[in-house]
């Protein structure tokens, strides 16, 4: 099958959409399909590199790292139309989504869309919240998604949000998969000792780790404030914060104000191929985010055998099993209790670690790709082109 994936974000940018798109691309290619990616050029110049089409683009100050395609004619689009993909699968809602709609309409092929981002959680960062508000987010999302044939939501939380928005397209829950092999690699004791030494840590430290984008919506401030309470019970505890982002300097100020400089370590950006090592030296993964559509870092941690302590959110239902592979908390006291218990109780930590590894298996990128492929076949076989034409006429199924 000829499959075109479209996304505004791709390497060298690193985020959940990029990782998900790349995993899907690799798995579908491994199955023998002809898969290509259409994205925005991070250099701004139009070009083709293997299976990747890069559209001309420029930066816009809407949110960090945002780019938009230039409003000019593209030879690349002609090339894609000549290639004649059978299915188009969009991953983001802006520039390349418009191109995806154009290609789907021109070739009369089904368009599938994965809804990765809950924009209500980001409204404050989109031009300071001055342009798009909560009601507007629902209207814009409805306008965008009601013209696609099938929608993929990673979790029931996301599906319910889209239903509440009034989306008429069929919504399918397909959890995003990760490449488990990247996280289930063996880390030798020597490698662990070297990493600990480089971080200024030792085997006696009990390590809590946050991995991800350092942004305000990730609520890392809460993790730091709660960690202060954990430290009162677990004096050898350390908090690792991996990643970069616009909120990094603010967090460093908070850590200094709390007098936690000796206990909180900011690693900055870490080579993606090395991240698994940090999960492996951590005793637990912590996060206070409620802005996730799925929470891929939770699954990454579990696949490394790292228990999770996270703020409760519907997105963790079925992923974090209370007392089995981690805990979800609802207040600072529960965060302190669960985290301290894991750090202080070796037997509990080993038990949670073992179950964490087992729990991650259903989230493999291979399983994910097979489910998505089934949806492609459904879209091709069920006459969804007629449904799209009906929706365009104001008729909803």
Q: How far is the C-alpha of 248 from the C-alpha of 251, rounded, in Å?
A: 5
What is the residue-wise DSSP string for 23-37?
HHHHHHHHTT-EEEE
Helix residue ranges per DSSP H, 128-177: 134-145, 156-165
What end-to-end distance do the CA atoms of the chain give, in Å? 27
Cβ atoms 266, 252 nearer than 8 A: yes
Residue length, the chain?
Answer: 397
DSSP assignment of 229-256 equals HHHHH-TTEEEEEE---TTHHHHHHHHH
- Give the whole-angstrom CA distance, residue 169 versus residue 396: 8
Provide the residue-wise pLDDT of the chain in tens; the chain has 397 residues: 999 999 999 998 878 899 899 999 999 999 999 999 999 998 888 999 999 999 998 777 666 667 788 786 679 999 999 999 999 999 999 899 999 999 999 999 999 999 998 766 555 555 555 555 566 778 889 988 988 999 999 999 999 999 999 999 999 999 999 999 999 999 999 999 999 999 999 999 999 999 998 999 999 999 999 999 999 999 999 999 999 999 999 999 999 999 999 999 999 999 989 999 999 999 999 999 998 888 889 999 999 999 999 999 998 998 999 999 999 999 999 999 999 999 999 999 999 999 998 888 889 999 999 999 999 999 998 655 545 555 455 444 3
CB 150 within 8 A of CB 378: yes
pTM of structure: 0.84
Determine contact, residues 312/329, Cβ cutoff 8 Å. yes
Whole-angstrom distance, CA of residue 10 vs CA of residue 90:
13
Cα Rg of the chain (Å, integer): 22
102-120 exposure pattern, b = at least 16 Cβ within 10 A, e = fewer: ebbeebebbbbbbbbbbbb
Taking the C-alpha atoms of residue 136 and residue 140, their distance in angstroms, rounded to an integer, is: 6
Mind listing the domains of the chain with CATH numbers?
A: 2-177+365-392 (3.40.50.2000), 180-362 (3.40.50.2000)
Phi and psi at 275, nearest 5°, equal -60, -35
């Amino acid at each position: 099958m000829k499959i075109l994936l479209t996304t505004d974000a791709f390497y060298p940018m690193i985020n959940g959409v990029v990782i998900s798109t790349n995993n899907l691309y690799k798995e579908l290619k491994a199955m023998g399909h002809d898969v290509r990616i259409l994205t925005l050029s991070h250099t701004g110049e139009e070009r083709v590199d293997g299976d990747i089409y890069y559209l001309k683009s420029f930066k816009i100050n809407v949110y960090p790292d945002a780019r938009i395609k230039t409003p000019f004619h593209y030879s690349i689009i002609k090339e894609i139309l000549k290639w004649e993909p059978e299915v188009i699968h969009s991953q983001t809602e802006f520039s390349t989504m418009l191109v995806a709609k154009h290609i789907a309409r021109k070739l009369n092929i089904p368009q599938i869309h994965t809804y990765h981002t809950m924009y209500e959680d980001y409204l404050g960062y989109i031009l300071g919240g001055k342009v798009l508000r909560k009601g507007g987010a629902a209207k814009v999302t409805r306008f965008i998604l009601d013209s696609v044939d099938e929608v993929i939501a990673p979790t029931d939380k996301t599906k319910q949000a889209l239903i509440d928005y009034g989306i008429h397209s069929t919504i399918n829950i397909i959890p995003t998969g990760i490449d488990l092999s990247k996280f289930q690699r063996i880390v030798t004791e020597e490698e662990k000792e070297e990493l600990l030494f480089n971080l200024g840590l030792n085997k006696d430290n009990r390590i809590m780790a946050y991995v991800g984008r350092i942004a305000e919506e990730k609520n890392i401030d809460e993790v730091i404030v709660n960690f202060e309470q954990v430290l009162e019970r677990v004096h050898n505890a350390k908090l690792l914060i991996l990643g970069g982002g616009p909120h990094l300097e603010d967090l460093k100020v908070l850590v200094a104000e709390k007098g936690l400089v000796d206990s909180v370590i900011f690693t900055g950006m870490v080579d993606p191929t090395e991240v698994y090592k940090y999960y492996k030296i951590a005793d637990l993964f912590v996060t206070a985010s409620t802005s996730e559509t799925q929470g891929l870092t939770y699954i990454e941690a579990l696949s490394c055998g790292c228990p999770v302590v996270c703020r409760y959110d519907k997105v963790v239902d079925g992923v974090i099993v209370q007392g089995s592979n981690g805990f979800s908390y609802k207040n600072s006291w529960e965060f302190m209790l669960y985290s301290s218990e894991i750090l202080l109780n070796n037997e509990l930590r080993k038990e949670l670690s073992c179950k964490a590894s087992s729990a991650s298996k259903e989230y493999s990128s291979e399983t994910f790709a097979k489910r998505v492929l089934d949806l492609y076949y459904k879209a091709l076989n069920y006459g969804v082109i007629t449904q799209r034409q009906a929706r365009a006429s104001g008729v909803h199924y």
